[in-house]
Amino acid sequence: MATSLISESQKNTIKAIIDDIHETFARNITVYEEGEKVLISASSEYNGIYGKTGSGTTNVTRTAVSHTMKARIKYLNAGEQDLSDGSIDSQLGIELINGSVRITVSLTDSEILKEAKRCEFEGRKYEINSKGDPTGIFGPQYVHFFLKPLDE
Using the CB atoms, write b or e for 41-70: b if 16+ within 10 Å.
eeeeeeeeeeeeeeeeeeeeeeeeeeeebb
Count: domains in the chain:
1
Using the Cα atoms of residue 47, residue 52, residue 54 and residue 59 in order, give the sign of their dihedral.
Answer: positive
pLDDT at 149: 92
Residue 117 in domain: yes
Report the SS3 class of residue 13: helix
Render pLDDT for 55-109 as a digit per residue (tens, 0 to 9): 556 666 677 788 999 999 999 876 655 555 444 445 555 667 788 899 999 999 9
Assess if residue 109 is contained within a domain: yes
* 96: in domain: yes
Range of the domain at 28: 23-34+65-149
Percent of the chain with pLDDT over 90: 48
Task: Tell whether the model's pLDDT for residue 110 goes beyond 60.
Answer: yes
Domain assignment present for 145:
yes
Confidence of residue 31 (pLDDT cuts 50, 70, 90): very high
What pTM value is reported for the model? 0.71
Query: Is residue 142 pLDDT above 80, yes or no?
Result: yes
Residue 53 in domain: no
Q: Considering only CA atoms, which of 96, 100, 138, 111 is closest in space to residue 12?
A: 138
CATH number of the domain that residue 93 is part of: 2.40.10
Residues pairing with 60 in the sheet: 39
Asked if residue 84 is part of any domain, the answer here is yes
Is the residue at 113 inside a domain? yes
Tell me if 4 is assigned to some domain.
no
Task: Write the CB contacts of 55 (distance below 8 Å, at least 6 apart in sequence).
Answer: 43, 45
